[in-house]
Amino acid sequence: MLPLQSEILLPERIAGLLGLSGTVGQIVGGLLGAFLIANLLLVQTAIAGPWAKRKITAAFTDRIAVNRVGPFGLAVIIADAVRLLSKELIIPEGVDRPAYDLGPLLVPFSALLGFAVIPMGNGIHLADPETGAVFAFAASSIASLGLVMMGYASNNKYSLIGGLRAIASNIAYEIPLIVTAASVIIFTGTLQMSEIVAQQTEPLLTIAGVTVPQWFAFVNPFAFVLFVVANLAEVGRNPFDVPEAPTEIVAGYQTEYSSVYFVLIYLGEFIHIFLGGALAATLFLGGPAGPVLPGFVWFLIKIWGFYLFTQWARSAIPRLRIDQFLDVGWKGMLVLSFANLVLTAVIVGVIA
């Protein structure tokens, strides 16, 4: 059996291919690797945003959606990119710069940063520090800072309310998210992403000749459900899209953004959804593991599966009110996630 996770990380491999070594090799390899992975994600976001989102939502709501430009309407991606980037960038009076400009930048970059430690299979893995899991969560949390900056700097009351709601939601749901992730760490005993993935390749049980791997979604489905729900709140999709809440506060923190900034915010949101999917895949679904197809393809399938799930939730589930939303977070998710953590710790402690 081929190792799912190659020992050599992407920057080293690139350095090797270029024949560079030492510090120069590390820097050039690292930059090129980061460039590659960032572009990979941007391409996916480009497909997800202007095209897949429309097609998926249309399928849920009995419509056809984009089908005029290119095969299956795919060329709408180019058309939309040109359209959005050529729009006027309106900076309202009285905004607080540079916070107003930095906010939209922080959102996508924090999400991209998180991808640095995600093993995507077939050796596409930028860095593998021992604190990988912590790094990923920490990086993705930086986005909250961007949201506050946008909400506060926009000089708009809807933005302000949206920014405050975003913070409330991030605090309320990030704790259950990380505590649930910690229950996986109890199993693995390590924060290193490659190690977490490697441990999930062990067989859990065999049914009728089919070996079921020890994915933590199978080992502890309860934690997986908690994680996915908390993740949904993290990326702000129904029933948790309270921070944006188009029918209540127009568009929340992004009300005053247009053109390129608007693109950046949406880019950030989509990359966050993918990061959420990638974390769920790495921690619970064996990372890039899967039969027959190459690891990277499985990785893509998993993160797109999560993306599909968020769009499904968006089309079918009503939004909670802000107080109910916080109740669910603090009184429900937090309690359940701690119960899960303690229970996991006890079980692991007893077995081991």
> Footprint of another protein on residues 169-228 (CB under 8 A)?
none
Q: How far is the CB of 263 from another protein (least distance, A)?
A: 20
- Of 209, 291, 323, 351, the residue at the interface with another protein (CB under 8 A) is 323
Q: Does 331 bind another protein (CB under 8 A)?
A: no
| Span interacting with another protein, options 5-13, 96-104, 240-248, 260-268, rule CB under 8 A | 240-248
- Of 3, 98, 221, 246, the residue at the interface with another protein (CB under 8 A) is 246
In the complex with another protein, the residue whose CB is nearer, 137 or 270, is 270
Q: Does 112 bind another protein (CB under 8 A)?
A: no
Q: Quick check: bond before 108 cis, omega within 30? A: no
Query: Residue 72 and residue 11: Cα distance in Å, rounded?
Result: 36
- Of 23, 86, 206, 247, the residue at the interface with another protein (CB under 8 A) is 247
Site string for another protein, 23-62 (x = CB under 8 A): ----------------------------------x--xxx
Q: How far is the CB of 236 from another protein (least distance, A)?
A: 11
Q: Does 252 bind another protein (CB under 8 A)?
A: no
Q: Does 67 bind another protein (CB under 8 A)?
A: no
- Of 317, 334, 339, 343, the residue at the interface with another protein (CB under 8 A) is 317
Q: How far is the CB of 60 from another protein (least distance, A)?
A: 5
Alpha carbon 213 to its chain centroid, in Å, reads: 24
In the complex with another protein, the residue whose CB is nearer, 133 or 160, is 160
- Of 100, 135, 152, 158, the residue at the interface with another protein (CB under 8 A) is 158
What is the binding site for another protein (CB under 8 A)? 57, 60-63, 157-158, 161, 238-239, 241, 245-250, 314-324
